[in-house]
Amino acid sequence: MAIKMSKTEEILARLQSEGRQQTMDSHEDSIIRERMNHEMELVMRESQYKEYESQISASQFVLTK
């Protein structure tokens, strides 16, 4: 006897057949995606700057006590 444990296919097929599944590929969706991409580019740039400056600051800080 064998029992299939995985459920994902069955769940997604059910959601689709019940009209409860939708691919977010409209023009509006792509605008939102581009907006988020832009936001994340800013975050990454800011993060790299902060990391670089943190490393410089750390190199000058001696811990002795």
Nearer to another protein, 2 or 64 (CB): 64
Give exposure, 17-46, as e/b (b: 16+ Cβ within 10 Å). Answer: eeeeeeeeeeeeeeeeeeeeeeeeeeeeee
CB of 4 to another protein, least distance (A): 12
Tell me how many residues contact another protein (CB under 8 A): 40
3-state secondary structure (DSSP) of residue 49: helix
What is the binding site for another protein (CB under 8 A)?
6-8, 11-12, 15, 20-25, 29, 32-33, 35-37, 39-44, 46-47, 50-51, 53-55, 57-65
